[in-house]
Amino acid sequence: MSAIVRFALATGCRAREILGLEWNRVDLNRGTAWLNLTKNGTPRGVPLNRDALAALEDQVGKHPQFCFTYRGEPIKANVSNKGWFSALEKAGLHDFRFHDLRHTWASWHRQSGTSCDELKELGGWKTRSMVDRYAKFATDHLAIAASRIETGSAGNVITLSRFCHGDQKQRA
């Protein structure tokens, strides 16, 4: 379960994509995997970062066809099984779905500066609105936009301190 979770957090892949990943679709040297079974039906390439490669390298030699297995056999059912719930309990997590790993991955990317367009391609989403549903808590990229109307910035912005000060004089 650990390798599957590490791979999910490194790639944002869905459970079905991970469980169906076969060695003939992975190039460890080039750091890529090819997913032919995706939710939206469009095959896509997945760049593998060091964490994803490490998770895969731990699985080399365990099965001739599938990358992720349990006791040497492919995992045919959903990953949310007894092993998943046992891992959650050991980690002290409650009300956590496997798919939440994808949300976490997307949020980490946005917080690290990955653009929405890059994230859309990385996650295999067809629309920007789907990216927005997944990637939460990223506001650093908005700091520049917010500063555009600060006091003293160039442009036709009312100086708020003068406005407030002038309003106080009229009341007195």
Select which of 84, 102, 110, 120 is catalytic.
102
Alpha-carbon distance 62 to 73, whole Å? 9
Select which of 84, 110, 120, 134 is catalytic.
134
164-171 LR contacts (CB < 8 Å, sep 24+): none
- 25 is annotated as an active-site residue: no
pLDDT at 112: 84
User: Domains, the chain, ranges and CATH?
Assistant: 2-96 (1.10.443.10), 99-172 (no CATH)
Is there a contact between 45 and 34 (Cβ–Cβ < 8 Å)?
yes
Select which of 14, 109, 110, 120 is catalytic.
14
- 165 is annotated as an active-site residue: no
Enter the pTM of the model. 0.77
Select which of 30, 39, 97, 141 is catalytic.
39
- 105 is annotated as an active-site residue: no
The separation between the first and the last C-alpha atoms of the chain, rounded to the nearest angstrom, is 70
* Residues 134-162 pLDDT 10s: 666 556 656 666 777 776 655 545 555 45
- The candidate with the shortest Cα–Cα distance to 48, out of 76, 71, 67, 69, is 67
* Residues 41-81 pLDDT 10s: 778 899 999 999 999 999 999 999 999 998 888 887 677 67
Select which of 23, 99, 103, 108 is catalytic.
99
* Residues 88-109 pLDDT 10s: 999 999 889 999 999 999 988 9
Q: What is the DSSP string of 35-70?
A: ESS-TTS--EEEE--HHHHHHHHTTTTS-SSBSSEE
- 109 is annotated as an active-site residue: no
Please state, in angstroms and as integers, the Cα–Cα distance from residue 96 to each residue in 74, 103, 138, following that order: 24, 11, 21
- 14 is annotated as an active-site residue: yes
Question: Would the pLDDT of 111 be above 70?
Answer: yes
The residues facing 22 across adjacent strands are: 66
pLDDT at 137: 56
